[in-house]
């Protein structure tokens, strides 16, 4: 054996031993990870890169902190350890994640279980905490749901993570692009859950685009306050809500797809899914720390444009209190324009309370010049009623004609270019084409020009380059346009 060969073997052995000794976490100096597998068990407190030739397993609750930047190469696969319930990746305030994949090489966070044996709740999820503003104030700090199951701050454990008190809505937590999160979610107690993607007070300097949640235990995308924009988001089969915005979220979302065909069954021990999965569920302020109740400021006023939200078409699989495309409540505002709401068995939209109705100016025809709640240019497909009436909803909605809210006589199978008559475990993403069929509801009738407060909110491109503007069509996809979800998204229930 010559000297060069001996030195190469020694270097490889030393690198392998450093992984075993440090858990592939935050050592002093750079890590050289050979192709194969590596475990991450401790917090990452210095700049770190995850490489595409290595599959990484998150074992426990890993936090990127101390101002570190975690870079993840395109095509990298990260799995959450099934044996350690709730295993999650947190990017804490002041730290960053730069996970930039491509349509050909998405970055995938998924279960460590083999295909066919995966389930919602196999691991915890991806959580990013920024320095943005929220409208709740709690003595001692407001913690991210699902955290704080241990005392202390030992590395790699589920210690308490707070997200209130931020003052900078332009904060930058990095970038996520072409990233999938599959079979995530963790609920140590009722209504105390980690989501597939959790954004706590994330600022507008952060870039979010081309993201998918697949079969998460709780919400797919949850925004707690902050002002981050996001575009081209896909949620297939959620344990709870597909898109949840609350606590003073003032960002902008465009090109959203949600599909709910069934009620999910999670793995044992991770918690239970909600009985009322919904497309959008937005709250102004709720819980402790709302100093002015539902009217606490900053108000929850997002822009949500070009969305396609598809439900189960069955009250049996939607739960007794869910099955609603857009649940707007607890004083939320927002501008919801150019959408398709399909197959929501109870109602397309619910304006739940007087405080929410007041955001629209207390009228059935909100004025874009003054209103903080506007619902415009939305087509309803296989949905028995546009607005929930009676029951928990104290408001009967808005004037359909004045707000260009229209029913469609077509079935979803005729509205979308590709939409299976039934969904099963054998269904794949290839069967889904969200482009409106020629002449179908959504192929025209969009709000082409934004005015008033909608125009003000939409002004200026986001950091991802997405331009928020009106469209001649409704829904997430343009007729004859780019099928932007194809190639990097998946549909697989297990």
Half-sphere exposure of 481 (CA within 13 A, CB side): 16
The contacts of residue 226 (CB under 8 Å, 6+ apart) are 130, 132, 133, 134, 166, 169, 171, 199, 200, 201, 202, 203, 204, 248, 249, 250, 251
Question: What pLDDT is attached to residue 271?
Answer: 85
pLDDT at 394 over 90: no
Question: What pLDDT is attached to residue 396?
Answer: 79
Kindly indicate the confidence band of residue 318, based on its pLDDT and cuts at 50, 70 and 90. Answer: low
Kindly indicate the confidence band of residue 273, based on its pLDDT and cuts at 50, 70 and 90. Answer: confident
Share of the chain above pLDDT 90, in %: 84
Question: What pLDDT is attached to residue 31?
Answer: 55
Task: Name the token pair of 139.
Answer: 């003595």
CA distance 365 to 400: 9
CA distance 301 to 297: 10
Question: What pLDDT is attached to residue 391?
Answer: 72
Evaluate the CA torsion angle 90, 93, 94, 100 in order and state its sign: positive
Torsion of CA 153, 159, 160, 163, to 10 degrees: 90
Contact 176, 207 (CB under 8 A): yes
**Domain 35-458 has what CATH class?**
mainly beta
Mean pLDDT taken over the chain: 92
CA distance 117 to 265: 12
Contact 393, 420 (CB under 8 A): no
Question: What pLDDT is attached to residue 36?
Answer: 79
CA distance 27 to 23: 9
What's the Cα-to-Cα distance from 140 to each of 128, 143, 163, 289, rounded to whole Å?
Answer: 20, 9, 11, 11
Under DSSP, the state recorded for 143 is: B
Question: What pLDDT is attached to residue 32?
Answer: 55
Give mean pLDDT, residues 61-88.
98
Contact 281, 309 (CB under 8 A): no
Question: β-pairing, 230-238 with 252-259?
Answer: parallel
Of residues 274 and 494, more confidently modeled = 494
Give mean pLDDT, residues 218-234.
98
**Which residue in this structure is represented by tokens 């709870």?**
240
Kindly indicate the confidence band of residue 276, based on its pLDDT and cuts at 50, 70 and 90. Answer: confident
Give mean pLDDT, residues 265-286.
88
Question: DSSP of 327-386, one letter per residue?
Answer: EEETT--EEEEEEEEE--SSEEEEE-SHHHHHHTTSSSS--TTT-SEEEEEEEEES-S-S
CA distance 175 to 130: 12
Question: What pLDDT is attached to residue 10?
Answer: 41
Question: β-pairing, 433-436 with 416-418?
Answer: antiparallel
Contact 438, 480 (CB under 8 A): no
Task: Name the token pair of 65.
Answer: 């902190």
222 strand-pairing partners: 198, 244
Query: What is the CB neighbour count within 10 angstroms for residue 460?
Result: 11
**Which residue in this structure is represented by tokens 């939209």?**
349
**Which residue in this structure is represented by tokens 């009738």?**
445
Query: What is the CB neighbour count within 10 angstroms for residue 53?
Result: 11
Omega of the bond prior to 177 within 30 degrees of 0, cis? no
Give which of 131, 37, 33 is closest to 91, Cα–Cα: 131
pLDDT at 275 over 90: no
CA distance 92 to 131: 10
- Which of these ranges, 25-29, 103-107, 463-467, 483-487, has the smallest mean pLDDT? 25-29
Give which of 387, 385, 371 is closest to 452, Cα–Cα: 371
CA distance 421 to 440: 17
Question: What pLDDT is attached to residue 285?
Answer: 96
Question: What pLDDT is attached to residue 146?
Answer: 95
pLDDT at 317 over 70: no
Share of the chain above pLDDT 70, in %: 92
């Amino acid at each position: 054996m010559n000297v060069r060969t001996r030195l190469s073997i020694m270097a490889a052995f030393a690198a392998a031993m450093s992984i075993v000794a440090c858990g592939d976490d935050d050592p002093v100096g750079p890590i050289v990870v050979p192709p194969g597998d590596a475990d991450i068990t401790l917090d990452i407190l210095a700049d770190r890169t995850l490489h595409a030739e290595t599959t990484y397993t998150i074992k426990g609750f890993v936090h990127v902190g101390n101002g570190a930047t975690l870079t993840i190469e395109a095509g990298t696969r990260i799995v959450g350890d099934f044996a350690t319930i709730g295993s999650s990746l947190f990017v804490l305030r002041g730290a960053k994640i730069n996970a930039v994949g491509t349509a050909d090489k998405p970055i995938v966070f998924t279960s460590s279980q083999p295909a066919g044996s995966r389930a919602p709740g196999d691991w915890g999820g991806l959580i990013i905490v920024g320095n943005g503003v929220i409208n709740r104030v709690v003595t001692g700090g407001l913690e991210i749901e699902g955290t704080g199951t241990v005392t202390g701050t030992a590395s790699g454990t589920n210690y308490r993570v707070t997200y209130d008190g931020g003052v900078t809505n332009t904060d930058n937590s990095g970038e996520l692009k072409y990233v999938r999160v599959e079979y995530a979610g963790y609920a140590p107690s009722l209504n105390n859950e980690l989501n597939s993607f959790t954004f706590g007070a994330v600022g507008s300097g952060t870039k979010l685009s081309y993201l998918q949640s697949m079969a998460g235990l709780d919400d797919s995308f949850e925004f707690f306050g902050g002002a981050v924009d996001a575009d081209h988001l896909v949620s297939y089969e959620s344990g709870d809500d597909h898109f949840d915005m609350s606590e003073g979220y003032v960002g902008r979302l465009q090109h959203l797809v949600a599909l709910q065909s069934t009620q999910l069954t999670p793995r044992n021990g991770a918690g239970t899914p909600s009985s009322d999965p919904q497309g959008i569920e937005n709250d102004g302020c709720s819980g402790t720390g709302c100093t002015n109740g539902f009217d606490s400021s900053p108000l929850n006023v997002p822009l949500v444009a070009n969305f396609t939200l598809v439900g189960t078409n069955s009250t049996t699989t939607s739960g007794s209190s869910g099955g609603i495309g857009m649940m707007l409540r607890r004083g939320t505002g927002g501008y919801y324009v150019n959408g398709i709401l399909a197959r929501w068995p109870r109602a397309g939209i619910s304006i739940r309370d007087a405080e929410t109705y007041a955001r629209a100016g207390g009228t059935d025809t909100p004025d874009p010049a003054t209103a903080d709640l506007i619902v415009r240019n939305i087509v309803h497909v296989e949905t028995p009623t546009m607005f929930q009436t009676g029951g928990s909803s104290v408001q009967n909605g808005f004037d359909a004609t004045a707000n260009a809210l229209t029913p469609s006589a077509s079935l979803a199978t005729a509205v979308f270019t590709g939409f299976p008559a039934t969904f099963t475990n054998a269904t794949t993403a290839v069967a889904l084409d969200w482009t409106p069929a020629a002449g179908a509801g959504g192929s025209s009738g969009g709000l082409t020009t934004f005015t008033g407060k909608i125009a003000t909110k939409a002004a200026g491109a986001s950091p991802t380059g997405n331009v928020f503007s009106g469209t001649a069509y409704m829904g997430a996809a343009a007729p004859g346009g780019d099928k932007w979800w194809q190639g990097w998204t998946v549909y697989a229930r297990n």
